[in-house]
Amino acid sequence: MLYLIGLGLGDVKDITVKGLEVVKKCTRVYLEAYTSILTVGKQALEEYYGRELILADREMVEQEADEILRGADITDVAFLVVGDPFGATTHSDLVLRAVNAGIQYRVIHNASVMNAVGCCGLQLYNFGETVSIVFWTDTWRPESFYDKIKRNREMGMHTLCLLDIKVKEQSMENLMRGRKIYEPPRYMSVNQAAEQLLEIVKNRREREEELAISEDTVCVGLARIGAEDQAIIAGTLQHLACCDLGGPLHSLIITGHLHPLEVDMLRLFATQPDSLQSLTTTDSSTYTS
């Protein structure tokens, strides 16, 4: 059996009882190590689980999946994922490979950022399509995520923005020379994402396009959700571009139409008196910015 086990969002104790029982009995246990991170490292997990973990980076999961599945038809193999196993589409590919190889699989779910963002007070059923915001480079500055935010805003929906993670990445020079030298890990912060969005707003304004968001759009920044030191801040996009929420992982929410209860909850996380002053009412029960 191949087990895909969610680890939750915080530390070693966020694994479910069911998940931990499976980990302890498996022949091999892989730790997926590139779509997200916990607040603790591999060694802490090994000590708590009482098992050696095999790090599975992007290259292994996407190009050497057969090694992960090796023997899973006659023994138990576990694949551990921070959050929930299906928070990343990569893991659907692993399931399909297992099925095609005649290997049974079982999923043990856990909390993920997709539902834990409700901690900021925005109602989950008011969210539209989730988007990913990637690091820009000098030669690559995509804006496609803005268009998805625009579609969500037009429907009055909130947008959860997952921020880029760069782990085990090679520089262009090392990639071209075939050198297995990797850059230090990088994790996009809320203020970096806000700065990129502000630049897109500036570009679209200069092209005289109708704007989906502005500097005054109310947003929510979240950091280390599920950990004891999680941080949440509500304010305008311009304000979030100047905020420091500490270490990774960060997420950003662009609000759509807001129910009065959502507004009351956001006030708990507003760090400045004027953070929510840009809100206006469209009717007796709906706010927008």
Question: Is-same-fold flag (2-111; 114-288)?
Answer: no
Superfamily, domain 2-111: Tetrapyrrole methylase, N-terminal domain (3.40.1010.10)
Q: What is the domain partition of the chain in residue ranges?
A: 2-111, 114-288
Task: Tell whether omega for the bond before 198 is within 30 degrees of 0, i.e. cis.
Answer: no
pLDDT score recorded for residue 173: 65
At 24-43, the pLDDT tens digits run 999 999 998 777 777 788 89
pLDDT score recorded for residue 36: 77
Mean pLDDT lowest among 41-45, 113-117, 125-129, 270-274: 270-274
210 vs 34: CA distance, rounded Å:
37
Distance set, CA 169 to CA 11, 24, 57, 174, 177 (Å): 25, 32, 11, 10, 14
Residue ranges of the annotated binding site for S-adenosyl-L-methionine are 9, 84, 87, 112-113, 163, 250
Q: Is the dihedral of CA 93, 96, 102, 103 positive or negative?
A: positive
Q: What is the CATH number of domain 114-288?
A: 3.30.950.10
pTM of the model: 0.90
**Alpha helices by DSSP H, the chain:** 17-25, 42-49, 58-63, 65-69, 90-100, 113-116, 144-154, 172-177, 190-206, 237-240, 260-267
pLDDT > 70? residue 236:
yes
For residue 240, give both structure tokens. Answer: 């979030």
Give 64 or 181, the one with higher predicted confidence.
64
Residue ranges of the annotated binding site are 9, 84, 87, 112-113, 163, 250
